[in-house]
Amino acid sequence: MEESHEDQPESTSNNTDVRPKRFRNLSSVNAASEEDLNSIVTHEDDSSLLTSVRSRHKQTIEPGSLNIAKYESLDYDTSENYLLLDEERSKGNQYFIRKDIARWLVFLLIGMFTALIACVIDIAIEELSQIKYKSLSKYVDDNIVEGKLYIPYFFFILYNIVPVFIGSTLVAYVEPIAAGSGIPQVKCYLNGVKVPRVVRIKTLIVKSIGVVCSVVGGLAGGKEGPMIHSGAVVAAGISQGKSTTFKKDFKIFKSFREDHEKRDFVCGGAAAGVSAAFGAPVGGVLFSLEEGSSFWNQSLTWRTFFASVVSTFTLNTVLSAYHGVPGDLSYPGLLNLGKLESISYQIYELPLFMLIGCIGGLLGALWNHVNYKLSVFRIIYLRKRWLRVLEACIVAAMSATIAMLMMFTLNDCKPVGQDPTKYPTQMYCGDGQYNVLASIWFQTPEASVRSLLHDPPNTHNAVSLAVFVIFYFMLSCWTFGLATSNGLFIPSLLTGAAWGRLVSVGLSRVFPSITSMNPGKYALIGAAAQLGGIVRMTISLTVIIMETTGNISFGLPLIVTLIAAKWTGDFFNEGIYDTHIQLSGVPLLPWDPPPMANNIYASEVMSHPVVTLKSVENVGHIVELLKLTTYNGFPVVDPPASDHGEVTTYGKIRGLILRSQLIVILQRKIFNECEQNWDEINYSIFQDEYPRYPTIDEVDITDIEKTYSIDLRPFMNRAPYTVSHSFTLPRMFRLFRALGLRHLPIVNDTNEVIGMVTRKDLARYRLWRHQGRMGIEELPISKDM
């Protein structure tokens, strides 16, 4: 390390340091880190540099340390090598125009297929639920006279457990990533983290069957969240023109086979999913924007919007035909809350909405906390698959039990006619009356939300509502995170709508003179508050609810409610999706760099020593490296003047090459010593293998070949973004987020690679905020799968 004197900027100043002590201190911190750099190879522990703030709070971290072995990053920064440039240059104008047209076509297809899948799921649920609830209603009324309530109870449990068993077995044994709503996973993917198998067709199939099973099985879950995931899978599937699940390559859309393009399509797919689920094309675009975009682009927005609109239109056409009103276009989304055009509000109601928002935030935070504890319990104790299936079945039985108990004990009767359910259940009610609770339970949860929003005043009595809220709150909390495919939108809306209606009942008792206390309005506000308190989405949730209810003028009350819910909830914990992302240890980068991180330098954050390659490198050495390390990117360097070191020697950076590229080169045996047909070596050799490259163990290299060498220069990214070791964490963070980087080589003053920063290095530093105090914490890293 002869250049150590060059590494220190201070040594070159030819004046005495006239700056005050605090500046001198600052530079000495930096100088210290640079001294440290010069002795990197010997002592690797740089923890002495961490400020006390960070180390002090190292112990206060929840479970869910970063799982870096499982989650790799996507490469949004295109590897711009000679092959790519050459290909682009040779194809010319027409190529770009054709690619653009193909892109629009793919977005059209994404919109259509997402909607069609949604239709199939919706119709399946509709038909099966109808059979189930019709017969249950009949069983109840047939057996109630004789007091044999155990018969309907038995069938209820049976009808719940059988589908749930099928669904959760599929999820637990075939494709565990299909569990839950899939929104956290899609969010991770959009943010640049490769969650394994999240956009495979197998996942889509399991998810689709799973969601039908769990909704039909009467779990407190909805089909809307899974729609978003299925849109994402559809997008990834169509745009790549190949399927790993079916081992089929259609040889189309080859130029879209890279992380950057694929992510754009997945963005459109997620939006199309939201659009199909809620009939909310604008909300869909905003969802993709809010959850996904670290970098955004006008043309992508526009294409995403197009996919969303196509999706809601296709769904509308098909569902209208299914419901017997073809061409009527009155079914824009799966969640159909019915038009709420007539409701209006007065200014004095706004504080009331804000209060409801706060309640929603509190309840949401509680819900998240309980669910978090449950999830931790599941991670620790329910590791066996059959335990997960058993748990799902227990919840299914529990749902039936609670429903039956409530119907049985709270004998809430109303005259038939007010009720929108198709099969009114009489139970103990008099003739011409029906049991209100049976009508809530013997429906899909969506239909129940619709009832709560539209039922005329006095349909529900306060006690039934209160009991329902308590049990459904617990049930939905227990359900989210089960090994079944279902979302939490609908159960949250249902809980919220129920207590919102309860609030309006309370208010109209306190202020009987006020006539505008439309219970449906308060049910809507309550639903928004509860959902907002749980998911903490902002503008997209507002727009989704506005679009679902078809009421624009009700925007302000919704926004006020949601802001209050978010702020209240954020005071206690994070949104449920972020909680689950953290629990699974995904190195997701937050929106902003942690605010107090200006004194953390690249030299502290980076991994070192870094494994580098020479521009012309020995094959055996490469094979060894790939086998020994798990790194995904290797800086290509010029060997230093004095060629004494081996792997860790510094060298001037020339480029960056990926593990996947090296493997493809090895597999194709593009060695200097072999005669090559260079016409066949073009960029598509990488596209053919994308996205699942073979492992190094699958590549056969003979011992003779190991003495050969590879010229890496045509393949490496010749201009990787690099930064100096004196960069601060926030500046690196912004670079990562803005450009979607995966590897950021850190160089010293003479452009020699001294370290490497990846997403996980940055994700480790997290803002720690608790009861008004803040600090930076450094997460531990777990390497087990």
Our CB check for a copy of itself shows the closer of 179 and 562 to be 562
The Cα–Cα gap between 572 and 568 comes to 7
For residues 414-442, one letter each, b for 16 or more C-beta atoms within 10 angstroms of the residue's C-beta and e for the rest, the string is beeeebebebbbbbebeeebbbbbbbbbb
Our CB check for a copy of itself shows the closer of 409 and 642 to be 642
Our CB check for a copy of itself shows the closer of 409 and 677 to be 677
Contact between 59 and a copy of itself by CB under 8 A: the answer reads: no
Q: Which of residues 579-608 bind a copy of itself (CB under 8 A)?
A: 591-592, 595-596, 598-599
Contact between 692 and a copy of itself by CB under 8 A: the answer reads: no
Contact 425, 140 (CB under 8 A): yes
3-state secondary structure of 633: strand
List C-alpha distances in Å: 343 to 278, 340, 553, 555.
20, 6, 9, 12
Contact between 624 and a copy of itself by CB under 8 A: the answer reads: no
Contact between 8 and a copy of itself by CB under 8 A: the answer reads: no
Contact 484, 219 (CB under 8 A): yes
Our CB check for a copy of itself shows the closer of 21 and 251 to be 21
Contact between 552 and a copy of itself by CB under 8 A: the answer reads: yes
User: What amino acid is encoded at 286 in this protein?
Assistant: L
Contact between 571 and a copy of itself by CB under 8 A: the answer reads: no
Binding mask 75-114 for a copy of itself (x = CB under 8 A): -----x-x-xxx-xx--xx--xx-----------------
Q: Which two tokens stand for residue 577?
A: 């999706």
Contact 477, 469 (CB under 8 A): no
Our CB check for a copy of itself shows the closer of 42 and 93 to be 93
The Cα–Cα gap between 762 and 757 comes to 8
Q: How far is the CB of 292 from a copy of itself (least distance, A)?
A: 10
Contact 604, 33 (CB under 8 A): yes
Q: How far is the CB of 110 from a copy of itself (least distance, A)?
A: 16
CA 408 vs. chain centroid, Å, equals 40
Q: What are the φ and ψ backbone dihedral angles of 38, each rounded to 5 degrees?
A: -70, -15
Binding mask 258-297 for a copy of itself (x = CB under 8 A): -----------------------xx--xx--xx--x-xxx
Our CB check for a copy of itself shows the closer of 139 and 313 to be 313
Contact between 147 and a copy of itself by CB under 8 A: the answer reads: no
Contact between 299 and a copy of itself by CB under 8 A: the answer reads: yes
Q: Which of 168, 312, 444, 485 binds a copy of itself (CB under 8 A)?
A: 312
Q: Which one of 130-138, 202-210, 517-525, 706-714 is the stretch in contact with a copy of itself (CB under 8 A)?
A: 706-714
Q: How far is the CB of 575 from a copy of itself (least distance, A)?
A: 11
Q: What are the φ and ψ backbone dihedral angles of 522, each rounded to 5 degrees?
A: -70, -30
The DSSP result for 226-244, as a single string, is HHHHHHHHHHHHHHHTEET
Sign of the Cα pseudo-torsion (259, 262, 268, 269, in order): negative
Q: Which of 98, 134, 384, 734 binds a copy of itself (CB under 8 A)?
A: 734
Q: Which of residues 643-682 bind a copy of itself (CB under 8 A)?
A: 652, 654, 672, 676, 678-679
Contact between 65 and a copy of itself by CB under 8 A: the answer reads: no
The Cα–Cα gap between 147 and 430 comes to 16
Contact between 254 and a copy of itself by CB under 8 A: the answer reads: no
Q: Which of residues 463-522 bind a copy of itself (CB under 8 A)?
A: none
Our CB check for a copy of itself shows the closer of 466 and 681 to be 681
C-alpha angle with apex 112: 108 to 118, nearest 5 degrees?
Answer: 150
Our CB check for a copy of itself shows the closer of 470 and 739 to be 739
The DSSP result for 739-761, as a single string, is HT-SEEEEE-TTSBEEEEEEHHH
Our CB check for a copy of itself shows the closer of 11 and 130 to be 11
What is the C-alpha radius of gyration for the chain, rounded to an integer number of angstroms? 29
